[in-house]
Amino acid sequence: MTFMIMKTLCFFHERSLACIHCHPFSVLLIHNNGRGREKLEREHEESSREILPLYLMNPVGTVSYTVMENRWSLQGMTALVTGGTKGIGKAVVEELALLGARVHTCSRDETQLQGSSHEWQAKGFQVTTSACDVSSRDQREKLMETVSSLFQGKLNILVNNAGTCITKPTTEYTAEDFSFLMATNLESAFHLSQLAHPLLKASGSGSIVFMSSTAGVVHISGGSIYAATKGAMNQLARNLACEWASDNIRANSVCPWFIATPLINDYLKDEVFKKEVESRTPMGRVGEAEEVSSLVAFLCLPSASYITGQTICVDGGATVNSFSLRWSLQGMTALVTGGASGIGHAIVEELAGFGARIHACDKSETLLNQSLSEWERKGFQVSGSICDVTSRLQRETLMQTVSSLFGGKLNILVNNAGAILTKPTREYVADDFSFLISTNLESAFHLSQLSHPLLKASGSGNIVFTSSMAGVVSIDCGSLYGITKGALNQLARNLACEWARDGIRANAVAPNFINTALAQAYLDDAGYKKSLLSRTPLGRTGEPNEVASLVVFLCLPAASYITGQTICVDGGLTVNGFSYQPKA
């Protein structure tokens, strides 16, 4: 039997499409076998933890539920999305609303606003609208006054989505073209962020997402001015992430590839152009708006609380079904190495919370047995085995075990096991080199090789490498450690392209110092910790579940167009070239 505490939400039975309306704060008890349903009404009690139901319809038509905590909910939060009546903007509005946020959106087109408003009202979304041309400074100020009034001077989320494109050779742009694109794409986002700052600060937990483009990361045929505005947005996100971190405001930018929207569809009508785009895309297709909106929503969730200053590309992936399936791992299988402690332990729990069946390995039998007992008490579907990942033979035995447990299929491989050995470069000996390469790099490479047929057989495979910011920038933890992590980041890029046609995605997650036993020796050094935190805009070390949440998101169907990326979970450290915060 599965129990769930619910808030007002609407579920549709897979076969009958009957709507089951649930009274606010009711408790619904549902037998998984479908033979009975008992509904008990009771008063909602104040709690320090909200509950969000994550649901899905399984193949036999019964309904199953997983209880998730408020880290995966936007209930009670407020959001402003510019350009929200079509394309990616509309998808973002709906994604945020589905997760419980109250949303205000704007558009230049009042007809589109009215049509979208009726549609959202019919869906039961809490969305208000107003007309606004974001290229006008006066209208931006009026918009923010409206938002402040609607949300009582507080705003949790600002999504700077409105934008446009004029494609010309650089030599043919006029001064008017430059002014128009700068005002619409860049100045509007900059000014709205300024105007939103006091509201975001007042909310106690603010998040800004800039809708950028891969044109701001690499060259594509979209016009140099458009690209300049998007590149500027990416840098603005980095700057605000550092400057406003002390106000508890995060800032990130999302960079879509070619997405099937009204803005892009005219280009895609050109079959030669479309074929070229698809040939350059590892997954062989353009993306869908909802594949971008899922990342935007994730970055606004409390579960993304240690991700700031990042530019994340949404530029490759597989087709998704409905919202419910996109945010569930029900029926999926996972292998997590080094899963009995620290970040690995948090990853296992987060995956299990989303419904995955997991096999975890660890070289410590004591830690593994303690964790297995804990997970059994929590009702998680987790098995485990002892494995020293430095041993080739034990890696092969591990994968044989996994193949047997999961019927020859595996959806998720998290290469998390690792070690650190800090010395000056001149003092490393050959054994140090062999040990770190074997533990951190060779194990991940070999396990990826061994898991390939299982991942391919699943039809939707995901590899996540637990890397480190030491593989992105230089930090004082040893050059050999940095080498192994930089290699993991590049391995993720290579596998993302090489195995894309097998339905396998690969990404790397690069944490800052996280509160784990592995990092404790460094954090116990007061001088080291003070120096570290002075460079970290959010001013603190991260928690294991703040890394685990990103790992799990990358494994969700909702992240189906994200592959080959190295994403830092670092409180903004790797984008902080220099930041000085004078005392008030």
Q: What is d(CA 436, CA 447) in angstroms, rounded to the nearest whole number? A: 16
Structure tokens at 384: 């485990």
Return the pLDDT at 408.
96
Q: What is d(CA 4, CA 26) in angstroms, rounded to the nearest whole number? A: 9
State mean pLDDT over 494-517. Answer: 91
- The pair phi, psi for residue 345, each rounded to 5°, is -60, -45
User: Would you call 189 exposed, middle or buried from its count of C-beta atoms within 10 A (0-12, 13-18, 19+)?
Assistant: buried
Return the pLDDT at 399.
97
Rounded-to-5 percentages of helix, strand, coil across the chain = 45, 20, 35
State mean pLDDT over 282-303. Answer: 89
Whether residue 4 is predicted with pLDDT greater than 50 in this model: the reply is no
Query: pLDDT > 70: what percent of the chain?
Result: 84
The mean predicted confidence, pLDDT, of the chain is: 82
Catalytic annotation, residues = 481
Residue-wise pLDDT tens digits, 226-246: 888 888 889 989 999 999 999
Q: Could you tell me whether strands 27-30 and 2-5 are parallel, antiparallel, or unpaired per DSSP bridges?
A: antiparallel
Q: Are 283 and 313 in contact (CB under 8 A)?
A: no
Q: Which helix (H) or strand (E) holds 483?
A: helix 479-498
Residue-wise pLDDT tens digits, 114-166: 999 999 999 999 999 999 999 999 999 999 999 999 999 999 999 999 888 88
Cα angle value 471/474/479 (rounded, 5°): 75
Residue type, 565: Q
> Does residue 475 sit in helix, strand or coil?
coil
Q: Which helix (H) or strand (E) holds 127?
A: strand 127-131
Q: What is d(CA 402, CA 417) in angstroms, rounded to the nearest whole number? A: 17
Closest Cα partner for 551 from 500, 510, 497, 519? 510
Q: Are 391 and 447 in contact (CB under 8 A)?
A: no
Return the pLDDT at 54.
38
Whether residue 203 is predicted with pLDDT greater than 50 in this model: the reply is yes
State mean pLDDT over 449-467. Answer: 96
Whether residue 51 is predicted with pLDDT greater than 50 in this model: the reply is no
Closest Cα partner for 89 from 50, 68, 123, 120? 120
Give the number of C-alpha atoms closer than 13 A to the C-alpha of residue 30, restricted to the C-beta side.
Answer: 17
Whether residue 473 is predicted with pLDDT greater than 90 in this model: the reply is no
Out of 95-99, 383-387, 401-405, 568-572, which region has the weakest mean confidence (pLDDT)? Answer: 568-572
Q: How far, in Å, are 282, 412, 500 from residue 391 at the CA level?
A: 33, 21, 28
Return the pLDDT at 105.
95
Which fold, 72-314?
Rossmann fold (3.40.50)
Give the number of C-alpha atoms closer than 13 A to the C-alpha of residue 558, restricted to the C-beta side.
Answer: 23
Closest Cα partner for 307 from 573, 579, 1? 573
Q: Are 16 and 31 in contact (CB under 8 A)?
A: no
Return the pLDDT at 69.
58
Q: What is d(CA 273, CA 291) in angstroms, rounded to the nearest whole number? A: 22
Return the pLDDT at 222.
65
Q: Are 570 and 305 in contact (CB under 8 A)?
A: no
State mean pLDDT over 106-113. Answer: 89
Whether residue 3 is predicted with pLDDT greater than 90 in this model: the reply is no
Return the pLDDT at 492.
94
pTM exceeds 0.75, yes or no: no
Which one has a higher pLDDT value, 60 or 403? Answer: 403
Return the pLDDT at 294.
93
Neighbours of 269 (CB within 10 A): 9
Q: Which CATH architecture has domain 333-575?
A: 3-Layer(aba) Sandwich (3.40)
User: Would you call 428 exposed, middle or buried from its count of C-beta atoms within 10 A (0-12, 13-18, 19+)?
Assistant: middle
Q: Are 498 and 454 in contact (CB under 8 A)?
A: no
CATH 3.40.50.720 domain position(s) in the chain: 72-314, 333-575
Structure tokens at 182: 């700068």
Whether residue 81 is predicted with pLDDT greater than 70 in this model: the reply is yes
DSSP notation for 187-249: IHHHHHHHHHHHHHHHHSSEEEEEE--GGGTS--TT-HHHHHHHHHHHHHHHHHHHHSGGGTE
Which one has a higher pLDDT value, 564 or 276? Answer: 564
- DSSP 8-state assignment for residue 301: S
Q: Are 226 and 173 in contact (CB under 8 A)?
A: no
Return the pLDDT at 278.
75
Neighbours of 457 (CB within 10 A): 17
Structure tokens at 436: 């770190």
Whether residue 56 is predicted with pLDDT greater than 50 in this model: the reply is no
Return the pLDDT at 132.
92
Closest Cα partner for 524 from 416, 511, 516? 516
Q: How far, in Å, are 258, 270, 317 from residue 281 at the CA level?
A: 9, 17, 9
